[in-house]
């Protein structure tokens, strides 16, 4: 099995410029890869996992204002080590960290899977520095090639 017996991973991203209020999650337009026991539906903020384990998270955000973003689970728990700040305007930031999803986190009904609960992961604007934070897209400057405004990759490392 080459270790794939427990492997799950997803990469979701947004090409859309978004203006996010405090506690508002990033909407991920699309995903490039989904494998294993995880889910992302296009144009939603939710990434779903239904197995406990240790997961590696890598996130990238491009904003036009100072701000702070946190990876949260089940709508209310900021994941330790999962908050990153952007201290200047028109900047890009990234963070990579490990998170634990436990059996006690598998409590949210997964919308498209009947009778299945999981852990909902979102990236939320947790900044109190500004009223809103805008994710920068290339269409602001008229560039015809869309660029990623935010992306997240989550990989299950161990059961």
Question: pTM of the entire structure?
Answer: 0.92
pLDDT at 80 > cutoff 50: yes
Q: How far apart are CA 113 and CA 79, in angstroms?
A: 25
Q: What mean pLDDT do residues 38-61 have?
A: 97
pLDDT in tens, 105-146: 999 999 988 899 999 999 999 998 888 999 987 666 667 778
54-65 pLDDT per residue, tens: 999 999 999 988
Least confident of 50-64, 76-90, 139-153: 139-153
pLDDT, mean of residues 71-93: 91
Long-range contacts of 111-114 (CB under 8 A, 24+ apart): 111/41, 112/39, 112/41, 113/39, 113/50
Residue 139, SS3?
helix
């Amino acid at each position: 099995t080459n270790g794939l017996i427990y492997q799950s991973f997803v990469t979701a991203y947004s090409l859309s410029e978004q203006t996010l209020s405090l506690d508002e999650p990033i909407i991920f337009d699309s995903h490039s890869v989904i494998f294993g026991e995880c889910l992302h539906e296009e144009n939603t903020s939710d990434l779903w996992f239904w197995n406990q384990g240790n997961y590696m998270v890598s996130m990238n955000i491009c904003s036009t204002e100072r701000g702070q973003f946190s990876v949260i689970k089940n709508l209310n728990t900021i994941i330790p080590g999962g908050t990153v700040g952007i201290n200047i305007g028109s900047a890009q930031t990234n963070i990579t960290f490990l998170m634990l999803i436990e059996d006690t986190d598998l409590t949210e009904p997964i919308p498209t899977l009947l009778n299945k609960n999981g852990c909902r992961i979102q990236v939320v604007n947790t900044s109190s520095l500004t009223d809103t934070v805008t994710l920068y897209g290339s269409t602001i400057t008229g560039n015809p090639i869309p660029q990623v405004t935010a992306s997240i990759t989550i990989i299950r490392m161990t059961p």
